[in-house]
């Protein structure tokens, strides 16, 4: 098996055995990027010299007998929404074109402390607003399983980089499903941690009460390892929760006894693609074979109203967060000669793309005088009801399961002119963010057209340890996670 098709754990073992150095691994991944990324377009920025320097430093550390970090020599990609010191961070927007942060995000600091090799910054929907990675101001990322299709969004570049074997793992952010949905469509594992479990320091905010940083990996074991590195309290983030981080990898293969799986009837409605539904039902049957009990639960608010609530709360917060990018304080400034108001207006009109402008206007309207009570405050009340019904459901079960996305990856451009249809791509994932609970997606099958299908697990807040164990139970009994994108020369 080529080094680029190895998991994180396998790459660590290869280095420990002396069969390959960190520099050997870096060179193979860089070669894969040169060969594949002109088609996939997962990366916004790759500095080959820096990558090789990082890898050589790991090799020197190993040769000297120094203690190595948990991700030593492993090439990891970072979504372009996370600040990286000395490396361009643009949020795939013209508004931040040329911006080079003077500091690292907390999650990037943790990767560096673990001796990971940061291989590059990945493409995304502009300011994380989108479900397909078609809203980037620079390029559209393709799905490695079918280059005519989207990889999901907004973290599509990070998901595609792992699925195309251009990085062993990557970081994304999830505001309404932006890790889990692209993970499902690209056939890999993606985790949205509990809100507050991973620091948001250095994350350029979209919606501050919803955003959360998480990993993409090939399998659940790698995801558990990444979570051990990323999770933990950070005093620089007021929403970071100070509580112990479990040793996720230590208990990963311990099955959950007397497992109760909640199955929401609303997740299997008429809008669900038939092949997706069949694959998810087959996964639930596999759990039953292992002794799990399926429990009927209901999430009426989370299914019927989640999209509406999300697009009020998220856009309102985006309107506030993005107000700083005005051509004066931060971001692109127009070269046109105009007055103060004209400079604000023209700078934002030139710097922000259509989807970002749409969401800023929606959020500003929802917060405006005379409408705040009718829209924003009412949305917050329904958000509380969504959390309450999750709590009621978890009183009956240990985990909730269903499809991650209602359909497999769709064709690029297919939904570009229909924002509502695009928004509904996240119908099964949004409620998790509104409730602040943990969620993940793992591969559970493929369509007849060889497109990946994802199984979503939703877990109570800060219960990632058990959620990972439950995911591993299924993964250990199946082989979906071992498949690689064959159209790029991977092994089936």
DSSP state of 217: E
Contact 59, 78 (CB under 8 A): no
Residue 346 to residue 340: CA distance in whole angstroms:
10
First-to-last alpha carbon distance for the chain, in angstroms, is 11
Check the CA dihedral 163-165-166-171 and report its sign.
positive
Within 13 Å and on the Cβ side, how many CA atoms surround 269?
A: 12
Query: Exposed, middle or buried: residue 139 (CB in 10 Å: 0-12, 13-18, 19+)?
Result: middle
Contact 55, 25 (CB under 8 A): yes
Cβ-based neighbour number of residue 470 at 10 Å: 24
Q: Which residues are catalytic?
A: 79, 154, 178
Question: Which contiguous run of DSSP H or E holds residue 453?
Answer: strand 452-459
How do beta strands 75-79 and 189-192 pair? unpaired
Structure tokens at 124: 């995304």
Cβ-based neighbour number of residue 28 at 10 Å: 18
Residues 34/35/39/42 CA torsion (nearest 10 deg): -40
The CA radius of gyration of the chain, in Å to the nearest whole number, is 21
Longest dimension (CA), the chain: 70
Contact 390, 397 (CB under 8 A): no
């Amino acid at each position: 098996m080529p080094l680029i098709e190895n998991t994180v754990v396998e790459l660590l073992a290869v280095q420990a055995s002396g069969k390959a150095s960190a520099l050997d691994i870096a060179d193979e991944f860089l070669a894969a990027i040169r060969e594949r990324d002109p088609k996939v377009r997962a990366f916004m920025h790759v500095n080959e010299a820096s990558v090789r320097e990082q890898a050589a430093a790991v090799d020197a550390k190993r040769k000297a007998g120094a203690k190595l970090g948990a991700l030593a020599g492993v090439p990891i990609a970072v979504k372009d929404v996370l600040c990286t010191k000395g490396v361009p961070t643009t949020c795939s927007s013209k508004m931040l074109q040329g911006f080079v942060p003077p500091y690292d995000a907390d999650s990037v600091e943790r990767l560096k402390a673990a001796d990971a090799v940061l291989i590059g910054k990945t493409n995304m929907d502009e300011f994380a607003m989108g479900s397909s990675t078609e809203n980037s101001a620079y390029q559209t990322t393709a799905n490695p399983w079918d280059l005519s299709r989207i990889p999901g969004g907004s973290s599509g570049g990070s998901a595609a980089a792992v699925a195309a074997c251009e990085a062993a793992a990557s970081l994304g952010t999830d505001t309404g499903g932006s890790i889990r949905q692209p993970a499902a469509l690209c056939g890999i594992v993606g985790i949205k941690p509990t809100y507050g479990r991973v620091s948001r320091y250095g994350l350029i905010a979209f919606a501050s009460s919803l955003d959360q940083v998480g990993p993409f990996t090939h399998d659940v074991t790698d995801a558990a390892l990444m979570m051990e590195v990323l999770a933990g309290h950070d005093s620089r983030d007021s929403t970071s929760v100070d509580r112990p981080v479990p040793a996720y990898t230590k208990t990963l293969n311990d099955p959950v006894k007397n497992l109760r799986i909640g199955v929401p009837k609303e997740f299997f409605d008429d809008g669900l693609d038939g092949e997706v539904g069949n694959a998810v039902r087959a996964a639930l049957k596999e759990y039953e074979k292992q002794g799990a009990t399926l429990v009927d639960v209901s999430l009426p608010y989370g299914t019927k109203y989640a999209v509406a609530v999300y697009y009020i709360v998220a856009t309102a917060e985006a309107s506030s967060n993005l107000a700083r990018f005005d051509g004066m304080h931060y971001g692109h400034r127009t070269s046109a000669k105009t007055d103060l108001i004209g400079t604000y207006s023209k700078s934002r009109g030139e710097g922000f793309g259509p989807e970002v402008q749409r969401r800023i206007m929606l959020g500003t309207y929802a917060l405006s005088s005379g409408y705040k009570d009718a829209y924003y405050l009412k949305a917050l009340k329904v958000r509380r009801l969504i959390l309450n019904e999750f709590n009621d459901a978890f009183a009956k079960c240990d985990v909730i399961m269903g499809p991650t996305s209602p359909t497999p990856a769709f064709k690029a451009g297919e939904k570009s002119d229909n924002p509502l249809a695009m928004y509904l791509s996240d119908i099964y994932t949004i409620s998790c963010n509104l409730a602040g609970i943990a969620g993940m997606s793992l591969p559970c099958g493929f369509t007849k057209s060889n497109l990946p299908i994802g199984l979503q697990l939703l877990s109570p807040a800060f219960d990632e340890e058990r959620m990972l164990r439950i995911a591993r139970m299924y993964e250990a009994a199946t082989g979906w996670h071992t498949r690689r994108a064959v159209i790029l020369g991977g092994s089936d």
